[in-house]
Amino acid sequence: MRSPSISLLLPSIFAFVSCRCHALQLTESPTRKLVASIQNGYQQRVAADPAFPQKSVAELFLAATTQLTAEIERRGSDQILVQFDFVLAGILTAVFGKYYSMWKVAPTQAGPFHNKKKSEGDVQLFQIKVPTNAFQATMLDGVTKPKLYQRLAAFIVPVVPLFRAGFIASSVGYGVVRIMILIRTFLLPSFEASTQNVNVLYASLYTGVFMAVVSNIRYQVLQGLIEPLVGRWFHRFPILHGALIFLIRVGNGFLGSVLAIAGMRQLGLQQVKS
């Protein structure tokens, strides 16, 4: 799990983008602020979990592969090409949605280069400081223990951002597929799709709610409770520890994909022409 090249990859990207922003004199621009916020958030997540870079790469890979596996499991291998538009939209949405869910509720801690004047500090809900993960041991300062009401609030804080991200991810995913279908229809007028057009608005609302509730809970438990326990029990066996974390994330990703697909089909958002 611990690869120096992977560990250095993401911070190098952030540093490069940050330097380019300075070169373009974007110090006060929204782009510069966004890059700084992401870079700061990344450092806080690595401080809380040094394996976060490796887990990030693994999560992106698993998001695509587990979604594809779930699509095959739910639809049947013979239906993958027939329902390719549904499958592609699901994979695009899953990659963005799953990683954003992982990022949003990952445990955080102030790193060695923490700057209190520039740092955004702990997340707040109605002026109450809240940890980014309901199960993390301490607040951002690495010392203060979260109280029960702060841990409960940690489930509420990500709801709106996760809903917004899910809505956007689904809109982009299904929107891209809709455009592809229109282009295909224009180039091949005789072609008739086997699937019914998806209501992008309803699909986006569903994905937003799914991420705000189901993904929120899954990743809070995974990153704040299960992975720390596995690390505590198997830290003396790095290979076994890495293998267990990988398998757990595979299971988590597959579970999320199966639930998302089942919900879409149950609500009639993905239908095949009879």
Give the torsion sign (CA, 152, 156, 158, 163). Answer: positive
CA-wise closest residue to 123 among 166, 159, 163, 91: 159
Residue 212 belongs to some domain of the structure = yes
User: pLDDT of 192-222, one tens digit each?
Assistant: 666 667 788 888 899 899 989 998 999 899 9
Residue 14 belongs to some domain of the structure = no
Residue 32 belongs to some domain of the structure = no
Q: What residue numbers bound the domain in which 172 lies?
A: 50-105+158-266
Select the highest-mean-pLDDT range: 86-90, 192-196, 202-206, 263-267: 202-206
Alpha carbons 72 and 261: distance in angstroms, whole number: 11
Residue 215 belongs to some domain of the structure = yes
Partners of 128 in the β-ladder? 125
What does DSSP assign to residue 36? H
Residue 141 belongs to some domain of the structure = no
Q: Give the pLDDT of residue 54.
A: 82
The SS3 call for residue 224 is: helix
Q: Structurally, how many domains does the chain consist of?
A: 1
Alpha carbons 195 and 197: distance in angstroms, whole number: 7
Residue 112 belongs to some domain of the structure = no
Token pair listed for 63: 């998001």
Residue 128 belongs to some domain of the structure = no
Residue 90 belongs to some domain of the structure = yes
Give kind and range of the element (H or E) at residue 167.
helix 159-187
User: pLDDT of 26-77, one tens digit each?
Assistant: 555 677 777 777 788 888 888 878 888 888 888 888 888 888 887 787 777 7
Q: Give the pLDDT of residue 117.
A: 45
